[in-house]
């Protein structure tokens, strides 16, 4: 079973080397999330594991995404669009795009794999993803909507309910 290690790692190269080794060799994770805001070189130690996957933080689902990630640059792009260009480094590199921002963001990013938080407790709407006509795989994450739900049923039943809702919405 693939395990997404949502660690949002970022550090200088030497430290990143040890993080990559820990994530992929010791914890056997596949894939990991990385914070790319220290530059492309900080991704290199993780890219040495081409059979694994990386999700780069692009536009997160928290309100603070507006503080940096969606800020406009002088050339008209937004900060997250610099991150999207980093996905060209490897076909296994995708993006974290919060469903709470998907309607505005999806038209501006390449068709790469997506890790999509923000559904459930954060109130993201699957309609934005369903209407995007993306071909690359998307992994929609629901955590608090399952773990802390007041809905009746076991954990497995709540997870199955969300799985079915996502599948029905995305067709």
pLDDT for the residue numbered 170: 85
What residues contact 100, with CB distance under 8 A and at least 6 apart?
Answer: 61, 118, 122, 123, 124
Q: What residues are annotated to the active site?
A: 8
Residue 140 three-state SS: strand
pLDDT tens digit string along 73-115?
A: 999 999 999 999 999 878 889 999 999 888 899 999 999 999 9
What is the DSSP track for 52-84? S-EEEEEE-SSGGGGGTTTPBPTTS-BHHHHHH
Spatial contact of 144 and 121, defined as CB atoms under 8 Å apart: yes
Total number of domains constituting the chain: 1
pLDDT for the residue numbered 136: 92
pLDDT for the residue numbered 87: 92
pLDDT for the residue numbered 57: 96
Q: Going from the first residue of the chain to its last (171 residues), give the mean pLDDT of each consecutive group of 10, the final group possibly shorter.
A: 85 90 94 94 93 94 92 96 90 92 91 90 82 88 86 89 90 76
What is the DSSP track for 9-58? E---HHHHHHHHHIIIIIS--SSEEE--TT-GGGGHHHHT-TTS-EEEEE
CATH (domain of 157): 3.20.20.70
- Domain that residue 62 falls in: 5-170
Structure tokens at 150: 């007041």
pLDDT for the residue numbered 164: 94
How many whole angstroms separate alpha carbon 74 and alpha carbon 72? 7
Structure tokens at 68: 């940096």
pLDDT for the residue numbered 128: 84
């Amino acid at each position: 079973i693939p395990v997404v290690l949502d660690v949002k790692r970022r550090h200088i190269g030497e430290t990143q080397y040890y993080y990559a080794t820990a994530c992929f060799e010791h914890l056997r994770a596949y894939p990991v999330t990385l914070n790319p805001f220290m530059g492309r070189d900080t991704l290199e130690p993780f890219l040495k594991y081409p059979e694994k996957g990386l999700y780069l933080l692009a536009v997160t689902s928290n309100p603070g995404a507006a503080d940096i990630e969606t800020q406009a640059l002088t050339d008209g792009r937004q900060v997250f669009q610099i991150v999207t260009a980093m996905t060209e480094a490897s076909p296994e590199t995708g993006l974290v795009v919060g469903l709470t921002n998907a309607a505005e963001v999806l038209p501006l990013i390449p068709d790469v794999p997506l890790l999509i938080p923000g559904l459930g407790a954060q109130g993201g709407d699957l309609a934005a993803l369903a209407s995007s006509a993306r071909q690359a795989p998307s992994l929609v994450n629901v955590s608090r909507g399952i773990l802390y739900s007041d809905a009746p049923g076991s954990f497995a039943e709540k997870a199955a309910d969300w799985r079915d809702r996502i599948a029905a919405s995305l067709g």
